[in-house]
Amino acid sequence: MIVADSAFTYTPGAADWVRILPELILLGAALIVLLADLATPAGRKGWLALIGLLGVAGSAIAAALLFANGDGQSAFFGMIAADKAALFADFVILLSVGLGLLFSPGYVERQGITQLGEYYALMLLAALGMMFMASATNLMIIFVGLEVLSLALYILSAYIMSRSRSREAGMKYFILSSFASGFLLYGMALTYGATGQTNLQAVRVFMAGNAFHSGTGFGPLLIAGLALMAVGFCFKVSAVPFQAWTPDVYVGAPTSVTAFMSVGTKVAAFLALARVFDVALLSVHATWMPVLWAVAVLTMIGGNIMAVTQRDVKRMLAYSSIANAGYMLIAVVTGTQDALAALLIYLAAYAAMNLGAFGVALAVERSDGTGATLDDFAGLARHRPALSAAMSIFLLSLAGVPPLVGFWGKFYVFQAAIIGGHLELAIIGVLTSVIGMFYYLRVVWAMYFQEPRAVGIPAVSTLSVEPPAPAAAPASASGGGAAVLVAEPAVVAAPAPQEAYQPPVLAPGAWLGLAFAVALTVVLGILPSGFVDLAIQAAHTILR
Amino acid sequence: MLLHQIAFYVLAAVAIASALGVISFRSAVYSMLSLIVNLMSLAFFFLMLQAIFIGTIQVLIYAGAVMVLFLFVVTMLAPDTESVGGRNPLRWQWGAGIGLGIILAGGLILAVVNGSLARDAHAVGADGLARQVALHGNVEAFGLALFHGFSFPFEITSVLLVIAVLGAVVLGRRILGREE
């Protein structure tokens, strides 16, 4: 084979390095953060986040330049793509890691996280792995990228070692995810055995040839490979029935990490999934489609129904991310060019609104990592009107309410499904979105129409299953009334006992991050045409 | 050819038995030892496929260095809690796990027996690889592929190693802090 021969003589040139410039800049930033950590005194680790943010910004600029002027060829012997789809995904990943970094200072200190140099470096390296995986055009790079991002996220999940929930999250994620990686690798090995290629484009050419269509059709070897790869990918995007790890890991990990990984991992895994199933293996679409169809339906129904019963908002968001994976799977199942554009739109919309929602949950959370339940959100609007308004925007967007960006994500996915001949998936998607509406709006209702939770007496808060807690109502009503009049949290603290309710505090960076997420959610929702065009352009390149 | 087949089946039996040993021994040290046996038999598989370099590396790195490290850690960290387990609260998972495992193994065996393996393998283009090996020699062909066509995955594996070192620093130091 020609490919086999040139593999022994190929030499990368300067053009190859230019095509992976965004990744190189991010890698450089991560290493600089590690070095700068040595020179930064203990109280000033926020500078490291700033260095990381500069790296993210530089990487985003490089990606923008490549998006506008790049030749869209793949680099390093067809290992990694610099096409518009990859660069679009890079943007979304950089957005999520950037917001994750903005949320971190303040929060990490409140949670008692030390070793911040390694923390910020690992965030950047995890994003690097996501970018590799999202741009990979070779099964090998998909796997190595996946391992880079997973390994960094295992460590980040377990970062608060003094807290058993965080240790449990890291351990659980590590063991289950390694197991799933094993499935994925086995599937890739069998696919390589069946096609003789790890390069996705070469696999596609091989599949399009008559090798499998002659005789008895294609071999069971390939089917086994497909099935095992599907298992691996479905685990990584937390699709039902491989979702069991998601809530525990999302709740146990530091919230700044959860916010980042809930989006970034999905972007990386869905891009890889789309490249493997919708590009390389499109000619056997009829074989894998029923399996992913069933997974998509199960994920939409299961994720939404399980989310309804949650009282912890972080846990609810974890199940909501499972449900959203179901909507994204619709796009992969449909597999047309419209559907891939819709997938990119959905991922970008999901990044803005989901990171924002986790950002608010992170602000409400107490320093021991608890306190993001519905009770803690009750009456939040009186103490923190801006925070509540932001949370409402994110949740309404997640629910798919029209003028916000989440609506467009759902709209284009369902539209692509209907055009692509999967009307039933669109109908199930719409129906389960209605379920979603309930649990998202319940938080909004708690923030605006419920009495604030009774002061920090645990006994009362555990009793107050039915809102509002009767015992708490009179005391906090007076405090709340004052807050409505003056809208000044300091006044609220005055009438209440000192150890009482503490309104959430936010570092300036987190405010900036939330403002950015709100701006994206609203502006892209009102004026979607620009970024929809970009996503459509990007989807063109993925199928080429 | 017959000798080759006998060797294959003996090695296969050893590999499967030792792999089962890894997950069924109660003592962690015994599990380690059977993992070494498993990795050794895999190394022999590579040798039978004339992948001399990979086979040697398998013995040196995996069966040698990595496993010695594992044994050190296991014997150092858990001298008295040698056997893990006790009553398993999730007994029904055993049945389900074994049942699904048999289905998976059956599917894979079907794939092999069906004969498609031989037909697919012909398409792989192993001829090109064999020609390169004949041209340059075993280790040279491996090195050429690694540093030319496959240099990029090789390079980004170093990122993986950086992360692993960071993880060791973060998680290791923290555990020491807790014990003080």
By mean pLDDT, which of A397-411, B10-24, B118-132 is the weakest? B118-132
User: At B29, is the secondary structure helix, strand, or coil?
Assistant: helix
Is there a domain that residue B123 lies in? yes
Whole-number pLDDT of residue A462: 34
Q: Tell me the C-alpha distance between A48 and B74, whole Å.
A: 37
Nearest CB to B163 within list A122, A132, A206? A122
For residue A132, which of A309, A267, A307 has the smallest C-alpha distance? Answer: A267
Nearest CB to B171 within list A121, A141, A161? A161
The reply to whether B169 and B125 lie within a common domain is yes
Burial track B112-145 (b if 16+ CB lie within 10 A, e otherwise): eeeebbebbeebbbeebbeebbeeeebeebbebb
Cα nearest neighbour of B122 on chain A: A196
The reply to whether B17 and B62 lie within a common domain is yes
Whole-number pLDDT of residue A114: 80
Query: Which 88-127 residues of chain B touch chain A by CB within 8 A?
Result: 107-108, 110-111, 114, 116-117, 119-121, 123-127
Q: How many residues does chain A have?
A: 544
Q: Is the pLDDT of residue A344 over 80?
A: yes
Whole-number pLDDT of residue B143: 87
The reply to whether B168 and B125 lie within a common domain is yes
Whole-number pLDDT of residue A490: 37
By mean pLDDT, which of A128-142, A390-404, A439-453 is the weakest? A439-453
pLDDT confidence tier of residue A157, bands split at 50, 70 and 90: very high
Residues of A in contact with B178 (CB under 8 A): 161-162
Is there a domain that residue B99 lies in? no
pLDDT confidence tier of residue A499, bands split at 50, 70 and 90: very low
Query: Which 90-129 residues of chain A touch chain B by CB within 8 A?
Result: 115, 118-119, 121-122, 125, 128-129
Nearest CB to B160 within list A11, A140, A147? A147
Inspect the interface and report whether the beta carbons of A161 and B175 lie closer than 8 Å. Answer: yes
DSSP B27: B
The reply to whether B8 and B60 lie within a common domain is yes
pLDDT confidence tier of residue B165, bands split at 50, 70 and 90: very high
Q: Is the pLDDT of residue B127 over 80?
A: no
pLDDT confidence tier of residue A479, bands split at 50, 70 and 90: very low
- Percent of chain A beyond pLDDT 90? 57
Query: Which among B61, B76, B91 is the end of a domain?
Result: B76
Residues 6+ apart with CB under 8 A from B133: B50, B141
Q: Is the pLDDT of residue A61 over 70?
A: yes
Residues of B in contact with A1 (CB under 8 A): 125, 127-128
Residues of A in contact with B174 (CB under 8 A): 115, 161-162
By mean pLDDT, which of A459-473, B65-79, B86-100, B106-120 is the weakest? A459-473
Of residues B81 and B2, more confidence is placed in B2
Nearest CB to A140 within list B153, B163, B167? B153
The reply to whether B56 and B120 lie within a common domain is no
For residue A194, which of A183, A182, A205, A206 has the smallest C-alpha distance? Answer: A206
Assess B158–A contact: CB distance below 8 Å, yes or no.
Answer: no
The reply to whether B63 and B134 lie within a common domain is no
Q: Is the pLDDT of residue A467 over 60?
A: no
Which residue matches tokens 């990584």?
A236
Cα nearest neighbour of A220 on chain B: B111
Cα nearest neighbour of B125 on chain A: A1
- Omega within 30 of 0 (cis) for the link into A254: no
Q: Is the pLDDT of residue B138 over 90?
A: no
Cα nearest neighbour of B148 on chain A: A10
Is there a domain that residue B21 lies in? yes
Average pLDDT over residues A393-411: 92
Nearest CA of chain B to the CA of A122: how many Å? Answer: 7
The reply to whether B62 and B111 lie within a common domain is no
Average pLDDT value for chain A: 85
Assess B149–A contact: CB distance below 8 Å, yes or no.
Answer: yes
By mean pLDDT, which of A170-184, A222-236, A370-384, B72-86 is the weakest? B72-86
Average pLDDT over residues A297-316: 92
Residues 6+ apart with CB under 8 A from B146: B154
- What is the domain-level CATH number for residue B59? 1.20.120.1200
The reply to whether B8 and B46 lie within a common domain is yes
DSSP string spanning A288-315? HHHHHHHHHHHHHHHHHHHHHT--BHHH
Q: Is the pLDDT of residue A497 over 80?
A: no
Inspect the interface and report whether the beta carbons of B148 and A161 lie closer than 8 Å. Answer: no
Assess B161–A contact: CB distance below 8 Å, yes or no.
Answer: no
Assess A211–B contact: CB distance below 8 Å, yes or no.
Answer: yes
Cα nearest neighbour of A146 on chain B: B160
Q: Is the pLDDT of residue A138 over 50?
A: yes
- Percent of chain A beyond pLDDT 70? 87
Domain count, chain B: 2
Q: Is the pLDDT of residue A229 over 80?
A: yes
pLDDT tens track for A84-136: 999 999 999 999 999 999 999 888 888 888 888 999 999 999 999 999 999 99
Whole-number pLDDT of residue A86: 93
pTM of the predicted model, to two decimals?
0.88
The reply to whether B108 and B70 lie within a common domain is no
Average pLDDT value for chain B: 81
Assess A284–B contact: CB distance below 8 Å, yes or no.
Answer: no
Q: Tell me the C-alpha distance between B148 and A6, whole Å.
A: 9
Q: Is the pLDDT of residue A214 over 60?
A: no
Q: Is the pLDDT of residue B108 over 50?
A: yes
Residues of B in contact with A10 (CB under 8 A): 148-149
Q: Tell me the C-alpha distance between A119 and A117, whole Å.
A: 5
- Percent of chain B beyond pLDDT 90? 28
Q: Are A160 and A113 in contact (CB under 8 A)?
A: yes
Q: Tell me the C-alpha distance between A183 and A186, whole Å.
A: 5
> Best interface-test mutation with A: which of B170, B175, B176 has the largest number of A CBs within 10 A?
B170
Nearest CA of chain A to the CA of B132: how many Å? Answer: 7
Supply φ then ψ for residue B83, to 5 degrees: -105, 130
Q: Is the pLDDT of residue A447 over 50?
A: yes
Is there a domain that residue B90 lies in? no
Residues of A in contact with B171 (CB under 8 A): 155, 158, 161
Average pLDDT over residues A510-528: 91
The reply to whether B108 and B60 lie within a common domain is no
The reply to whether B57 and B8 lie within a common domain is yes
Is there a domain that residue B165 lies in? yes
Of residues A494 and B9, more confidence is placed in B9
Whole-number pLDDT of residue B12: 93
Torsion angle, alpha carbons of B100, A328, A246, B158, to 10: 90
Is there a domain that residue B86 lies in? no
Q: Is the pLDDT of residue A327 over 90?
A: yes
Whole-number pLDDT of residue A74: 86
Q: Is the pLDDT of residue A205 over 90?
A: no
> Best interface-test mutation with B: which of A8, A19, A148, A197 has the largest number of B CBs within 10 A?
A8
For residue A287, which of A209, A225, A204, A206 has the smallest C-alpha distance? Answer: A225
Which domain, by its residues, includes B62? 1-76
pLDDT confidence tier of residue A480, bands split at 50, 70 and 90: very low
At A364, the amino acid letter reads V
Is there a domain that residue B120 lies in? yes
Whole-number pLDDT of residue B117: 52
Is there a domain that residue B108 lies in? yes
